[in-house]
Chain A
Amino acid sequence: DIQMTQSPSSLSASVGDRVTITCRASQSISSYLNWYQQKPGKAPKLLIYAASSLQSGVPSRFSGSGSGTDFTLTISSLQPEDFATYYCQQSYSTPPTFGPGTKVDIK
């Protein structure tokens, strides 16, 4: 199985900050990398698919990049509604594994 890691595991940031979260795969997954946002008590929400494609309805302050084994999710200007946990997921091979998550909270 492909193992996914994320860094940092948590971070504190202020509204307006630029935030970057990193995801790494244990082997090359081309661009088969997706990002999700989850708020407490809610279902996850797809933000980015295929490493850099913005899901419909997701604000443009979210962007994704990378290919192979290293990927990043960037929030260009953090908004109050962005405080949440973010997960990466590879869909290159089955099982489609998730990263452990990165919790973004208020500084």
Chain B
Amino acid sequence: QVQLVESGGGVVQPGGSLRLSCAASGFTFSSYGMHWVRQAPGKGLEWVAFIRYDGSNKYYADSVKGRFTISRDNSKNTLYLQMNSLRAEDTAVYYCAKDGMPGIAVAGSIDYWGQGTLVTVSS
């Protein structure tokens, strides 16, 4: 069964950095694009970033472009999100999520989600 387990969340001061990790299992990780999606407390879903199955293409929401970096290590079945210059408005639960179609270069539907990790940006 597909499992996505996020880690690395916590409390960080404005301007600080944090790196999230997502350990994937139960599917051929290197064949699927992966997403990060976030949800601020009491708010809706906001797509953050997508990385192609082979890591050759990356896409970002305008709200995080230039501050966040998505990456993956297919040898370790792990997805990452490096978050720099964090702001209060980045406070959210961050979900690691698997794209629904293998071998696709752009973001599609999301068929599996992790349980999420909470990032709180506060002084």
CB distance from B26 to the nearest CB of A (A): 14
Can you list 11 residue pairs at the A/B interface with Cβ under 8 Å? A43-B95, A43-B116, A46-B100, A46-B109, A46-B111, A55-B111, A89-B47, A89-B109, A94-B107, A96-B50, A98-B44
Given A43-B116, A101-B44: A94 in contact with B50 (beta carbons within 8 A) = yes
Residues of chain A having any CB pair with chain B under 8 Å:
1, 32, 34, 36, 38, 43-46, 49-50, 55, 87, 89, 91, 94-101
A38 to B97, CA, bound (A): 14
**Residue contact A96 to B108, C-beta cutoff 8 Å:** yes
A91 to B106, CA, bound (A): 9
Nearest B residue to A34 via CB reads B109
Chain B residues 75-116 with CB under 8 Å of chain A are 95, 100, 106-116
**Residue contact B116 to A87, C-beta cutoff 8 Å:** no
Q: Mark B38-69, 1 if CB is under 8 A from A, else 0.
A: 00000011110010000000010110000000
Given A49-B100, A94-B59, A98-B46: A43 in contact with B109 (beta carbons within 8 A) = no
**Residue contact A95 to B45, C-beta cutoff 8 Å:** no
Among B35, B106, B110, contact of A34 (Cβ-Cβ < 8 Å)? B110
A82 to B60, CA, bound (A): 32
A97 to B63, CA, bound (A): 13
A49 to B115, CA, bound (A): 21
**Residue contact B109 to A94, C-beta cutoff 8 Å:** no
Among B44, B59, B115, contact of A87 (Cβ-Cβ < 8 Å)? B44
Among A43, A46, A50, A96, contact of B47 (Cβ-Cβ < 8 Å)? A96
